[in-house]
Amino acid sequence: MPNPTHPIQDLIPTPASSRADVDYYQQYAELAARTHRAVIAAMAEGTICPSGAAGVLAEWGLPPLPKPWSVAVTPQSPVEVPHHHPVGDCDADAVGRIRLELLRRAIRSRAITAVASGDLGRLRDPAARVDRFLIDIGLDPLPRAWLVCVNAATTLTLAAVGDDQARTTVWAAFAARTCHQRISVEDFFIDTYAQGLEDGRWQAGCGEILRVWVRATSEHAAADAATRLVRAHLDALALPQLHGHRLRITGAAQTIDPVLDPAHD
């Protein structure tokens, strides 16, 4: 007979044969209960609206919101789990383990999608909120990356009929370039005005302040990887005769990686 004090646990039929060692069915029930509470807490603090909370609970195959928050939701396909009758301890363990892993993946993928897609963009520090949510329910936090700040200086020579055209060409080239997803340009400036050369060419010195996110095992490894990314970023400029780049790393710190992949993270 269902136990009204433990509605979530009663949803999970627990074969007696799986209780001897690792009880995956119990772990599933505990994760479901923690997630249910965490979704309600997130709704109470304004991270997710009632309809969104009801939607993710339905998506994960968890019980609906309790009154007074109950709302109608569009039927969705819940987390798919194997439905066959275990015939032994090994079979029961496999079913329980797969079911638990599917729920973990579904929760994590949905949470990361909410951050990566910008669905939570209206909130302050949405990644930090999702990170705390995952930790609160017992899942791994969001991936970390090193944020490396780099000051880059580039000298180039180009053909132009005058000072104004030289500067305009440089500005247009920097504006047209597509940045790598792990690089953010904080500022760009021409720190040396275009100087005319004898053969009708012009030379200009340009600078950028860049933020680079790198997943690495140490600050030193992150700095090396960031340097390579920045050099490729500068070499991609559609300008002739780049005379090399001078890079200076001004700081590095670990943070939540803003470049997330729901399928793999």
Task: Give the CATH number, domain containing residue 237.
Answer: 3.30.70.1150
Q: Quick one: pLDDT at residue 73?
A: 45
Q: How many domains does the chain have?
A: 2
Q: How far apart are CA 99 and CA 25, in angstroms?
A: 8
How many of the other CB atoms lie within 10 Å of CB of 224? 14
DSSP state of 137: T
CA-closest candidate to residue 105, choices 142, 60, 143, 53: 60
Q: Quick one: pLDDT at residue 69?
A: 62
Residues 119 and 152 in one domain: no
Residue 243 is inside which H or E element, if any? strand 242-256
pLDDT category, 178, cuts 50, 70, 90? confident
Which of 71, 105, 136 is the last residue in one of the domains?
136
Q: Quick one: pLDDT at residue 71?
A: 53
Q: What pTM was computed for the model? A: 0.76
What does the chain come to in residues?
265
Residues 24 and 48 in one domain: yes
CA-closest candidate to residue 188, choices 177, 198, 180: 177
**Owning domain of residue 44:** 9-136
Q: Quick one: pLDDT at residue 112?
A: 94
pLDDT category, 9, cuts 50, 70, 90? very low
Say if 160 falls within a structural domain. yes
Say if 265 falls within a structural domain. no
Pairing of strands 201-214, 144-159: antiparallel
Select the highest-mean-pLDDT range: 8-17, 70-79, 118-127, 147-156.
Answer: 147-156
Residues 14 and 132 in one domain: yes
Say if 3 falls within a structural domain. no
